[in-house]
Amino acid sequence: MRFRALIAIDLGTVNTLVWVAGRGLTLEEPTAIALDRGTGQVAAVGQEADALAGKEAQDVEVVFPLRDGVVADLDATAAMLHGFLRRALPRRGLLRPAAVVCVPSGATWVERRAVAAAAEARRPRCQVELVDEPVAAATGSGVDLSGGAGAFIVDVGGGTTEIAVVAGTRVARSRSLRLGGNAMDAAIAHTVQEELGLVLGRNATRRLKMTLGLTGGANGWAEAVGVDAVHRAPKTERVPGYLVAAALEPTVAKIADTVQEMLTDIPPDLAEDVVEGKVMLSGGGALLPGLASRIEATAGIGTLVVDDPLRCVLRGAAEIISRDGGRKAATTAGKHQHAAR
């Protein structure tokens, strides 16, 4: 029997992933919680809660408790994590679980404390170590950081895009952009409504993004079902690829330009590592058609999508907690408690 459960958590704006030592990936669900409007009690978490979003069920309120990669609703986040961890840990060790939780590199002290507090608030209360997402992403991509190796990471999530140069287990340079997949979705939905008079739901918008992206897809268009903006009736429309690409342009241009800016500020001793390792894309946004090519063309340096980019950060966090064995988590938890007092 393991005395202390070891857990890695990638707490994202859109999805939350949980890894448990000895069991592997145990949970991958939307970062969502549904609350009963009458009682305030938790009605559902994860996939079951997310399935109710946008459907205006009268008796529940669906809450997405993270915004731009950080906790926006502490109580809802704590309740959601409680539900996730109870599901991921059917059996617990004798000691409090030790957890590595990933946070944006640009998160403030208050935002970091909120993440730790959410994981520590309810049973099973975890001893928490916070790890910057770029460090976890570099580790999860296969870079051996133990010898001080450098890596250039672009982690495109739902709420944030982390652009960082990592040296060993430290962040040498970083920019945390508070935009990502959600900003792309909003831009596509707005453009399609303005140009085609079609109001799109969240899922239809995401399908257009991942089908057409910057390249226009195989056919140069994709079919979408939404609601006619004038007549308020269901409507099917062919959405041109160029329309989606135009909607994505401001967000993609900001990411690509920031990569280029950061490349001009790399320490000389890290330059060789970055050129040899290329710019590595992780996160769900890394799968956007045409994104890697666009960054490579703008920045003038090779760019590649890491293996299984959706789970790259979690893989890195799992490796970190496995290597540390929970020792840092216990120390970090003590510091949090001391600071709170």
pLDDT tens digits for 268-319?
888 888 888 899 999 999 999 999 999 999 999 999 999 999 999 999 999 9
263: helix, coil or strand? helix
pLDDT at 326 over 70: no
- pLDDT of 55: 78
pLDDT confidence of 97, banded at 50, 70, 90? confident
CA distance 5 to 315: 17
CA distance 78 to 86: 12
- pLDDT of 58: 80
* pLDDT, tens digit, 9 for 90 and up, residues 105-162: 888 999 999 999 988 887 677 889 999 999 999 999 988 887 778 899 999 999 999 9
- pLDDT of 126: 82
* pLDDT, tens digit, 9 for 90 and up, residues 237-277: 999 999 999 999 999 999 999 999 999 988 888 888 888 88
* Cα distance from N-terminal residue to C-terminal residue, the chain: 34
pLDDT at 332 over 50: no
- pLDDT of 338: 38
- CATH of region 4-135+312-340, choose from 2.60.120.10, 3.50.50.60, 3.30.420.40, 3.40.50.720: 3.30.420.40
- Give the CA-trace dihedral at 134, 135, 139, 142, to 10 degrees: 50
Are 202 and 188 within 8 A, CB to CB?
A: no
Q: What angle do CA 177, 183, 185 make, to 5 degrees?
A: 150
CA dist 184 to 98, 102, 176, 187, 198, Å? 35, 23, 16, 5, 17
Considering the domain 181-247 in this protein, what is its CATH number?
3.90.640.10
% of the chain with per-residue pLDDT over 70: 92
Q: Which of 54-63, 97-106, 165-174, 237-246 has the lowest mean pLDDT?
A: 54-63
Torsion sign over Cα 219, 224, 229, 235: positive
Q: Tell me, yes or no, if the two domains 4-135+312-340 and 143-178+249-309 fold the same way.
A: yes
Are 339 and 128 within 8 A, CB to CB?
A: no
Paired tokens of 269: 């001793």
**pTM for the predicted model, two decimal places:** 0.88
Nearest in space to 337 (alpha carbons), one of 132, 131, 128: 128
- pLDDT of 248: 97
pLDDT confidence of 4, banded at 50, 70, 90? confident
- pLDDT of 46: 95
Torsion sign over Cα 319, 105, 205, 286: negative
How many helices (H) does the chain have, and how many strands (E)? 11, 18
pLDDT confidence of 13, banded at 50, 70, 90? very high
* Pairing mode, strands 60-63 and 127-132: unpaired
- pLDDT of 294: 96
pLDDT at 322 over 80: yes
Q: What angle do CA 113, 183, 280 make, to 5 degrees?
A: 75
The beta strand positions in the chain, using DSSP E, are 4-11, 15-20, 24-30, 33-36, 42-45, 60-63, 66-67, 70-71, 95-103, 127-132, 150-156, 161-167, 170-177, 198-199, 221-228, 234-240, 279-282, 303-305
- Residue range 58-62: average pLDDT? 89
* pLDDT, tens digit, 9 for 90 and up, residues 172-205: 899 999 999 999 999 999 999 999 999 999 999 9
pLDDT at 64 over 90: yes
CATH fold for the domain made of 143-178+249-309: Nucleotidyltransferase; domain 5 (3.30.420)
DSSP lists the bridge partners of residue 72 as: none
Where do the domains of the chain lie? Answer: 4-135+312-340, 143-178+249-309, 181-247
